Structure 1
Amino acid sequence: LGGSTVRGRPYAVDTSFCKWTELELNSRDPKHSYQIINCGGLSYASYRLTYIAREVLQYKPDVLVVATGHNEFLEDRSFVGVKERADSALTSWFLSLRTVSLVRSLFGKGDVEQQRQLHANKIPSEIDVRLDENSGYASYHWDEQWREQVQNQYIESLQTIADICKESGVPLVLVRLGSNVRDCPPFKSELRADVSDKDAATFDRLMHEAQGQIDNPEAAIVIYRQLMEIDSNHALLNYRIARCYDRLGDLESAGMYYLEAKELDVCPLRILRSMDEQLQVFAAEQDIPLVEAGEAIRELTSEGMPGDDFYSDHVHPTIRGHQVIGQELAASIADLKDIDLNGTWSSIDRVHHYQSYLDSLPKAYLSNGRRRVQWLENWARRDRMILDVTPYDIRTRVNVGWKELGFGDLETAQKQFRDALNQGEGAALEILNFAHHLAASGRLATAKQMLEWLHQEIEHPDMEPPIQLAKMINSKLMGEEAMAILIYDDYFGRSEYSDEYTSQWLKLYPACWTELAAILSE
């Protein structure tokens, strides 16, 4: 159960972490058959999941998994009469799984958001999503009391789900989701109500002045410090300070300000830090398994701070991110249900299973996801924040390239990668790292394209060995033995090679050197 992340947005259920969990369990324990039922609802807040949980538990599942927290502030709901509505049979029907199933059956396999508009007058809906209204972001203002009420209802909803699971004898697993704090500015910022008109004018002037120092982060920080004296709780101000420290390489300070910007967002579309802490405490006190999805994605990054590299927008993971969450969830379920996953399934097997599954999807599957995140760029342009989402250095350019390849746009991705290479040699290692994640996710053909492109673009001799090793391993994974042997024999002279940049590639195919040596010895 959950929201759009559970549904696999910006793609579809076919590549959500639910599907990868199912693939992991069935592949690693072929003696049994596993089926994951995806009940993710678009824009569903946690209190709505309590109704669906009551219904699905009637079917006696082996485990109920709940991943929620990002949608809590999407609805403009009043807390007067919530308990009365909870007892309404009509409300229960609207919020039940039957309604979700009905809507999906009517929509078929098309895009849900598009169909919701087409059928607006035919299908009743109880979800009042504030961002769907004409007022949109303008309807959000800082309201501490409302925030507190929403947060309280969040934990109450989790408690309700835990209680009904206990009553039904069905174990519960919770998922702690992550979000993109590094490459996604806050959705709305506003000055405190007590800031004078004079100070507000000064604030606007200095913000514009600091933006003019985009290539001089030290000077920009000096200006931003003056602005902090006017209003230190301005979300966008904190984000821009974070970007400056990020450019200066002070990741500790950058991380602190990034998180503060997310917390101060007037339109909080990412789970708040306080709610995240509540979730951890709740799971520990209730002795409920907690899958560290956000942490698993964070560990994929070289700097421990994911952005556009592993999130397609503000909260939705890339396909690679969903795969990693699926691995973590499968391990948690296996531990909970005493399932033996210690078989002979290797990293090579996982890559080939991923490859086979991705190849079975429609050709336009990746590109279809692109339009579902276009709103983020449109929003930034409309709110004059396009500079805050425009790539400006090696990391941000490479990350945008990652994102574009996630939507199957090789040409745009390579343009970003080329711009990154023009800014410094360090970009080559970042691109090589991304090619590794492409291969690990099963996109071997695309990884091959990227490695061949990188080999042509880069002329630095120090990069030749790691690129050649990556090409060799990727060729081996693709079953292109002749190419792998040629690189091993011709370039490496039948000698093993490794460095700090190639260790992750060797983990994909640990026996690569041994197998190639054996082939040539014959």
Structure 2
Amino acid sequence: MKTPGRLSLLRKALFSLITCCLFFGLLETLLWAVGIRQLRDVRDPFVGFTPGAPLFTRSGDQFETTDVRRTYFNLQTFAAVKPAGTRRIFCLGGSTTYGHPWDDSTSYPRWLRDMLNAASPDQRWEVVNCGGISYASYRLAWLTDELLQYQPDVLIVHTGHNEFLEDRSWSSFRELSPAVRSFAALAGRLRTTTLLDQVLGGASREKPGKPVLREEVDPLLDRSAGPSVYSRDDDRARMVVQHLEHSLQKICRIGRAAGIPVILVLPGSNLRDFAPFRSDFSQPGFANSLKVTQLLRQADELQQQQQPEQAFSTLQQAVSVDPRYAESAYRAGRLAADLGRCEDALKLLKQARDEDICPLRATQPILDAIVQVSQQEQVPLVDFASILDQHALQKRGCAVPGDEGFLDHVHPTIDMHRDLAIALGQQLQQLKLLPAEVDFRKLASGIEQSITSSLDAPRQAVGLTTVAQVLSWAGKNTEALRIAEQARQLDSQNVEVLSQLGRLYEKVGQMQDARNTLEQAVAAGPDNPWALYRLARLHMRENNWSAALELLERSRQHTTTAQPSAFRSVLFRSLSQCCEQTGDLEKARVYAATAAGQ
């Protein structure tokens, strides 16, 4: 039999618990009423960010892209005071949204902007391109906080390919126990935690070991000789997916809280015609790797002997020996597609994409996460991947996307930008923002000439040069050189085309071609800092320090803050090295200090 004392203690404990819950419940309600957001929507639990310039700054009666952000973003403008009746859409994403390898003029935001204004002459639509080169979901989530200030009516988010670009080690996060992670996730849902965090110093007090990202993107590939900087790390891959989920959930939540519809886009990639950036064996054992190598060589011989079926069987053996060696799966998938075995091709080529050690295409776990967030947050999803699949089926007989829809590994052709814009317009119709009878395919036909006519030979050359630059950046220098030579045929006097081509000749070891081409580039653009720098580097390789120093000084004179900080850093390091070699040690120290400060 329980004593009255024990009952009294139990009642007191229960009463205290109820009182505590009521207090915090009322506090949460009050904080919600005054606009305090959940901590998970205020601070990213995975990374910190270095404060920097806003994406847009006011200039007279309009906002425009801030000067220092134009290295990564298009110049965009919109009214500072939103006109009555105007609908404003912000398109967030990476280089695809930007319009790579060109710019906003051929991008899906441009197609959507022109179609919407053609569909509703009595209503103005502002479709603002917020695609940032190499921007991943976590940077877009950070950017969304700023965009809410500009009264958007819709947010469109196209992301997924850039999640592995930057170094985020999360060493301290990985060490946390599951119980601590669960508690942290619960605390992130409370506005009381946000208030406490602000009292204790907020974002100025980042956790030790938590990665703090620079103001602008700092890709791993910019710090290395190519994809070799990447290694297989399944734990990190899972963390990347979790971070993507968190970032997209944040965008959806803050959009919903502000009454702004969010549309997610499921990205697609070039499966059929783009080999993995880097393959590695799942086990370091010599016998395993030797067996795969022998099978790949046998398959090559069989294809040369016009025996594709036997070659495919041999490639399947190679895949079974080591399913994680991406190159085997890619070769088998390519051959399966050529043989008309479309289901086998799709399975193998997705496997090759997902096992790529340097994952610059959205992997299946990333795609699954985007679909899952769309379902959980109940926001519409435009399935661009399926649009690309159907285009491939129509063009080549297999629903396996390749060069018919892409310019490289992830960047769509202008036609596919058009088709994505059509699908987005149709989604806006489902959101009741446009009449159901608007025919977006007909509207696209009406504006196509105005969009494609801007791509004359010089602009096509610049676009191909940009594609070559990205391929080289990812270590595919032979493929990049082929495209860069095509660009020179279109415009043989363009300094950017010549400068990039000269750089690629150097990378593949054609040194005389490199010197001749870079000298042509400097003659065509004597004030171009990149051409001057690249020619100087050739002189440095040959120990021609005085000639290199003269070129580097000219490059420095024409380098502004609009140039990426990574370029400014290597420029000043090269100046320091040349000054040291020519005996000017004081200048060498000054330039070394300047390089360190970039």
TM-score of the superposition, structure 2-length normalised? 0.55
Indicate how the Cα distance of structure 1 residues 267 and 326 shifts in structure 2: closer, same or farther if over 3 A, else same.
same
For structure 2, the 5+ residue unaligned runs are: 1-91, 174-187, 189-196, 207-212, 492-598
| Alignment correspondent of 1:161 | 251
1:295 Cα deviation from its structure 2 partner: 1.6
Mapped pair 1:251 → 2:346:
no
* In structure 2, C-alpha distance between the alignment counterparts of 1:88 and 1:186, rounded to whole Å: 38
SS in 2 for 1:173: strand
Equivalent AA in structure 1 for residue 340 of structure 2: G
Indicate how the Cα distance of structure 1 residues 199 and 333 shifts in structure 2: closer, same or farther if over 3 A, else same.
same
| Alignment correspondent of 1:353 | 447
Structure with a larger share of its residues in strand: 2
Equivalent AA in structure 1 for residue 423 of structure 2: E
| Alignment correspondent of 1:330 | 425
* In structure 2, C-alpha distance between the alignment counterparts of 1:59 and 1:180, rounded to whole Å: 35
| Alignment correspondent of 1:201 | 290
What percent of counterpart residues are identical? 32
Equivalent AA in structure 1 for residue 437 of structure 2: N
What does the per-residue CA deviation read over 1:26-85, in whole Å, with 9 as the maximum and x for residues that have no partner?
A: 11121211111111111111111111001101111011111111100111112257899x
Matches within 5 A, 1:359-508: 359-360=453-454, 364-375=458-469
Aligned length: 359
Indicate how the Cα distance of structure 1 residues 175 and 199 shifts in structure 2: closer, same or farther if over 3 A, else same.
closer
CA RMSD of aligned residues (A): 3.1
SS in 2 for 1:351: helix
SS in 1 for 2:128: coil
1:363 Cα deviation from its structure 2 partner: 5.2
Indicate how the Cα distance of structure 1 residues 360 and 248 shifts in structure 2: closer, same or farther if over 3 A, else same.
closer
Mapped pair 1:137 → 2:227:
yes
* In structure 2, C-alpha distance between the alignment counterparts of 1:38 and 1:261, rounded to whole Å: 32
* In structure 2, C-alpha distance between the alignment counterparts of 1:127 and 1:87, rounded to whole Å: 23
What does the per-residue CA deviation read over 1:284-312, in whole Å, with 9 as the maximum and x for residues that have no partner?
A: 22210111222223222313222101111
SS in 1 for 2:271: coil
Identify the match of residue 88 of structure 1 among 157, 180, 203.
203
For structure 1, the 5+ residue unaligned runs are: 92-98, 100-123, 391-399, 410-522
Equivalent AA in structure 1 for residue 248 of structure 2: L
* In structure 2, C-alpha distance between the alignment counterparts of 1:342 and 1:89, rounded to whole Å: 52
* In structure 2, C-alpha distance between the alignment counterparts of 1:382 and 1:175, rounded to whole Å: 28
Conserved in 1, the CA contact under 8 Å of 2:324 and 2:355? yes
Matches within 5 A, 1:60-71: 60-71=151-162
SS in 1 for 2:121: coil
1:383 Cα deviation from its structure 2 partner: 8.2
1:346 Cα deviation from its structure 2 partner: 8.0
Conserved in 2, the CA contact under 8 Å of 1:57 and 1:170? no
What does the per-residue CA deviation read over 1:370-409, in whole Å, with 9 as the maximum and x for residues that have no partner?
A: 012224665899688x7xx99xxxxxxxxx9xxx89x989
Matches within 5 A, 1:124-273: 125-193=215-283, 195-214=284-303, 215-273=306-364
Equivalent AA in structure 2 for residue 352 of structure 1: G
Structure possessing the higher relative contact order (Cα contacts under 8 Å, 6 or more residues apart): 1
1:204 Cα deviation from its structure 2 partner: 2.3
Indicate how the Cα distance of structure 1 residues 50 and 350 shifts in structure 2: closer, same or farther if over 3 A, else same.
closer
Conserved in 2, the CA contact under 8 Å of 1:185 and 1:239? yes
Indicate how the Cα distance of structure 1 residues 211 and 89 shifts in structure 2: closer, same or farther if over 3 A, else same.
farther
* In structure 1, C-alpha distance between the alignment counterparts of 2:298 and 2:287, rounded to whole Å: 17
1:9 Cα deviation from its structure 2 partner: 0.9
Conserved in 2, the CA contact under 8 Å of 1:297 and 1:324? no
Indicate how the Cα distance of structure 1 residues 87 and 79 shifts in structure 2: closer, same or farther if over 3 A, else same.
farther
SS in 2 for 1:77: coil
1:201 Cα deviation from its structure 2 partner: 2.7
Indicate how the Cα distance of structure 1 residues 314 and 382 shifts in structure 2: closer, same or farther if over 3 A, else same.
closer
| Alignment correspondent of 2:117 | 26
* In structure 2, C-alpha distance between the alignment counterparts of 1:285 and 1:309, rounded to whole Å: 34
Mapped pair 1:291 → 2:382:
yes
1:275 Cα deviation from its structure 2 partner: 1.7
Identify the match of residue 127 of structure 2 among 19, 36, 60.
36
Equivalent AA in structure 2 for residue 164 of structure 1: I
1:219 Cα deviation from its structure 2 partner: 2.3
| Alignment correspondent of 1:433 | none
| Alignment correspondent of 2:414 | 319
* In structure 2, C-alpha distance between the alignment counterparts of 1:18 and 1:11, rounded to whole Å: 13
Equivalent AA in structure 1 for residue 153 of structure 2: D
Conserved in 1, the CA contact under 8 Å of 2:154 and 2:261? yes
What does the per-residue CA deviation read over 1:331-376, in whole Å, with 9 as the maximum and x for residues that have no partner?
A: 2123214311525x68565323210233245652222210122246
